[in-house]
Structure 1
Amino acid sequence: MFPPPLSKVLLAILAIPSCVIQAIQLDVKDPASLRAAASTISKTLLTYYKNDAPNTPPEKIGLLPFPPYYWWESGAMWAGIIDYTTYTKDTSHVNKTIQALLAQRGPKNDYIVPAHRGDEGNDDQTMWGLGLMSAVENNFPGPPEDQPQWFPMVIALFKDQASRWDMESCGGGLKWQMYPGKYQNAYGYNYKNSISNGAFFQLAARLALYTGEQYYIDWAEKVWDWSWRTGLISPTYDVFDGTDDKKNCTSLDHTQWSYNVAVYIEGTAAMWNTTQKSIWGERTVGLLGASEVFFSPFPNATGIMFEAACEPANKCNNDQVSFKAYLGRWLAKTMILAPFTAKTIRPLLETSAMAAAKSCSGGSDGVACGTKWWVGGYDGKTGVGQQLSALEVIQSLLIEDADRWQLPRDN
């Protein structure tokens, strides 16, 4: 029999999984390295998607498995794949992306889907809409000619959102949920939150930039002014989660989530680019400063992105582990729309991308990505949100060289 110390060592060795810890190698200054890492992560991400088989029920095509993934996160994932295609020039996911976007468009081509009446809120609808807008901006391959096209569907979705602008309380604003409590969460129907209003604002701002039409400029200004007036955006540009319209929006949930500040910042950057007004530049800089709360969780993790409200306490739910994806996505686009932000944003994305790559050392293949990038490796928790977050922050570093991501008009 081995003596106790050697016995313990042998048991420890036998307990190590047979796969080698691989991790994703990344040089953030090398486009080829960035493309290779993004390719690996995108493939792992899409292993979660099973609903493109020939016998898939039509209403399931384009959707991740539920539970645990709600309808909106599928839209968020396809938006990430649209950007992946643009930044890397890898077209391997194009056909399934087109199929997914068409399958979930709804009978009026506005992404109101009767099958999801119980779980589709204003923010959920716009998550699909923002991805559609990326398809328009990126010149992403379109559907067959006999099918609805990307831009008309964006317009239909926007008009549907605008029709729900609620003047019955708080002087305006979109509710979180679309329908009363009989169909959805009653609290959500009385909650006017930042992600619903911020996503509508961003879509208006991007449409203003793309079309040059005053109609969309006016809507973007209206949503911003309402968000500022109610205090969802504070005088120091912190973006709080939401407010109760039963109390006429006089009290706030002061929780800060990364995707809330991020959804507004791309919108302000688009408005600066469209109008060239200094106030939109000031707002962009203000929001960028407020986003610092989502970087540097500890002194030895400077510049690394994290979800401040839940990661340190191990309390992030399945939705929240994906929020860093949208922070990375929208900060990257802010760099392009408002180039004066690049000197601040690019280093944060580079540091976060390196940390994210180190986290991608889990699973049977050694490349599944973790939640906490600041721990220096894989933390044992992976899924769609983790894969999408790592993908977004890594592929975002290719945006400046993406020859198909361009401003649609001379400004």
Structure 2
Amino acid sequence: MRWRSLGSLGGAAALALLLQGQLVRSDIPIEVTSTDSLKAAGKAIAAPMWEFYLQNQTEGIPGKLTDTWYVAGAMFMTLMQYWQVSGDNQYNSVVSHDMMFQAGRNYDYFDSNYSQWLGNDDQMFWGLAAITASETGFPEVKGKPTWTSLARAVATMQMNRWDTSTCNGGITWQIHPWQAGYTLRNSISNGGLFQLAARLARFTHNSTYIEWAEKIFNWSLDSPLIKEEINWFVADSTSGDNNCVDSGDMQWSYNYGTYLVGSAVMYNITQDEKWLRRTKGLLGRLSTHFFPKEYGGNVFSEVACEKLHTCDRNMLNFKGWTSLWMAMTAWMVPETRAIITPKLQGSAVAIGKQCDGETDNLCGNRWYQDTWDGIKGLEVQMAALGGITSNLMLLANTSPKTVDNNPNAKEQFLDTYSDDTPDALPHITTGDRVGSWILTVLWGSGVVAAAWWLIKQK
């Protein structure tokens, strides 16, 4: 282990501190071509993340973190991918229990405890966690539906929300008209459903999912969300209030990542050259914009918020998920490996230097800094674990399972009614719609103002 300098302390003082058992902060040494080194780093980073999880559960509810619901699902997605390539199974029993607990009474991740205020992207992340369980061979739960069935339930519900009342399609960001921002169609909701459909198509060999993946991506191209003609620019959102003719263009890595991996999976399934072109186009934009030359070109940065210290709880996660999706892209489309590998390896080395906060292995957000940036919590630990896991995925050089080599995960059809049925939701009145419109306008104005402020600070 390499110890950091004690600055102005003299040698005698430094020795005294060490003798008193007060450890000086140290980096996590990372050898990016060593599976053992990466496994050790992953284990070190996962431990404090897990402590944050246990300490921040809302009233001890399994899988429910304070002030958020989807983040725990994304954490389980990350942990299952980490387990597959590391063999570290110490968290599996709790992940399994809490994943199934949050599936709800209808096993669709839309339980009435949360359904009144959820967004489509919230539910979608649990669906991605469920399909990750199937693809990694995560153990099934006896007497419960398979993980594939849970992923299918999420996909089916969201496909049923396809909204042609404006914009010629797409799914809205929020699920209910009374929610602020309801009329927005954003990239993570539509791109997330696209990714989920593509992965279900590959796992189950069900052509219906291929058709839906095609439909969602084509709609995204026709909308302002993906601008192929502008070097594969991916916007964050567009609004149904003006029939989706313009867009909010803030740049977030996970929007690129979710369309990227979905495209890679579609190419893996179909061998259609259009999906290879789309994969390479999205990767080209992602691998330049979010790996700035000023940091050497191979260190991941959420550039819209990191320098300005404005990354919120959600944004702190993006790099970790996108790193996992980049590694999966390399699995699905080997032609991309030469671009992806140095990006993920450079980020892993940087993560090792950033994870030297307060106590051993506490990670920060700005990976390009050689010392901890003072940010701590479950989200930055998860992002760092995603960065390390992505490198283990590259070394494993394997691919996600399908029903052919994981038959225990075969899709089951659930006959239970859904919380999304009209009988389960309050009747939407004209007043609700007017109120929703007012809230959306106010919310949208706030987004524009925030975006303007961020740009002015650059």
Q: Distance in 2 between matches of 1:134 and 1:300?
A: 32
Q: Distance in 2 between matches of 1:140 and 1:52?
A: 25
8 Å contact kept, 1:307–1:323: yes
Please name the residue that 1:355 is paired with.
Answer: 350
Residue by residue, what CA displacement relative to the aligned partner does 1:331-374 show, whole Å, maximum 9, x if unpaired? 010000111000100110000010011100002x2210011011
Please name the residue that 2:431 is paired with.
Answer: none
Residue by residue, what CA displacement relative to the aligned partner does 1:32-75 show, whole Å, maximum 9, x if unpaired? 0000000111111100122799x965xx11223x14xx111111
Distance of aligned partners of 1:9 and 1:335 in 2 relative to their CA distance in 1, 3 Å threshold: closer
Please name the residue that 1:270 is paired with.
Answer: 265
Instruction: Give 2:63's aligned amino acid.
Output: G
Aligned residues: CA RMSD? 2.2
Compute the displacement of 1:179 (Å): 0.7
8 Å contact kept, 2:331–2:394: yes
The one of 254, 272, 277 equivalent to 1:282 is 277
- The count of corresponding residues between Structure 1 and Structure 2 is 388
Please name the residue that 1:91 is paired with.
Answer: 89
Instruction: Give 1:93's aligned amino acid.
Output: Y
The one of 229, 248, 257 equivalent to 2:222 is 229
Please name the residue that 2:54 is paired with.
Answer: 50
The one of 103, 110, 113 equivalent to 1:112 is 110
Distance of aligned partners of 1:135 and 1:220 in 2 relative to their CA distance in 1, 3 Å threshold: same
Compute the displacement of 1:213 (Å): 2.0
- What TM-score do the two structures reach when normalised by structure 2? 0.81
Please name the residue that 1:212 is paired with.
Answer: 205
Q: Distance in 2 between matches of 1:266 and 1:316?
A: 24
Query: Are residues 1:152 and 2:134 paired?
Result: no
8 Å contact kept, 1:294–1:305: no
Q: Distance in 2 between matches of 1:137 and 1:368?
A: 30
8 Å contact kept, 1:71–1:119: no
Q: Distance in 1 between matches of 2:297 and 2:360?
A: 26
The one of 308, 330, 338 equivalent to 1:335 is 330
Compute the displacement of 1:120 (Å): 1.5
Compute the displacement of 1:113 (Å): 2.1
Compute the displacement of 1:189 (Å): 0.5
8 Å contact kept, 1:86–1:138: yes
**Superposition pairs of residues 293-308 of structure 1, within 5 angstroms:** 293-308=288-303
Query: Are residues 1:121 and 2:114 paired?
Result: no
8 Å contact kept, 1:52–1:96: no
8 Å contact kept, 2:134–2:401: no
Please name the residue that 2:29 is paired with.
Answer: 25
8 Å contact kept, 1:51–1:62: no
| Counterpart secondary structure, 1:367 | coil
**Superposition pairs of residues 368-387 of structure 1, within 5 angstroms:** 368-387=362-381
Please name the residue that 1:312 is paired with.
Answer: 307
Instruction: Give 2:171's aligned amino acid.
Output: L
Distance of aligned partners of 1:300 and 1:403 in 2 relative to their CA distance in 1, 3 Å threshold: closer
Q: Distance in 2 between matches of 1:375 and 1:118?
A: 41
| Counterpart secondary structure, 2:89 | coil
Residue by residue, what CA displacement relative to the aligned partner does 1:127-168 show, whole Å, maximum 9, x if unpaired? 011011010011111112x22221111111111111101011
| Counterpart secondary structure, 2:238 | strand
Instruction: Give 2:313's aligned amino acid.
Output: N
Instruction: Give 2:158's aligned amino acid.
Output: Q
Instruction: Give 2:151's aligned amino acid.
Output: V
| Counterpart secondary structure, 1:141 | coil
Instruction: Give 1:39's aligned amino acid.
Output: K
Query: Are residues 1:201 and 2:194 paired?
Result: yes
8 Å contact kept, 1:305–1:373: yes
Query: Are residues 1:178 and 2:182 paired?
Result: no
8 Å contact kept, 2:63–2:69: no
- Percent identical pairs in the alignment equals 35
Compute the displacement of 1:94 (Å): 0.6
**Superposition pairs of residues 160-175 of structure 1, within 5 angstroms:** 160-175=157-172
Q: Distance in 1 between matches of 2:349 and 2:313?
A: 23
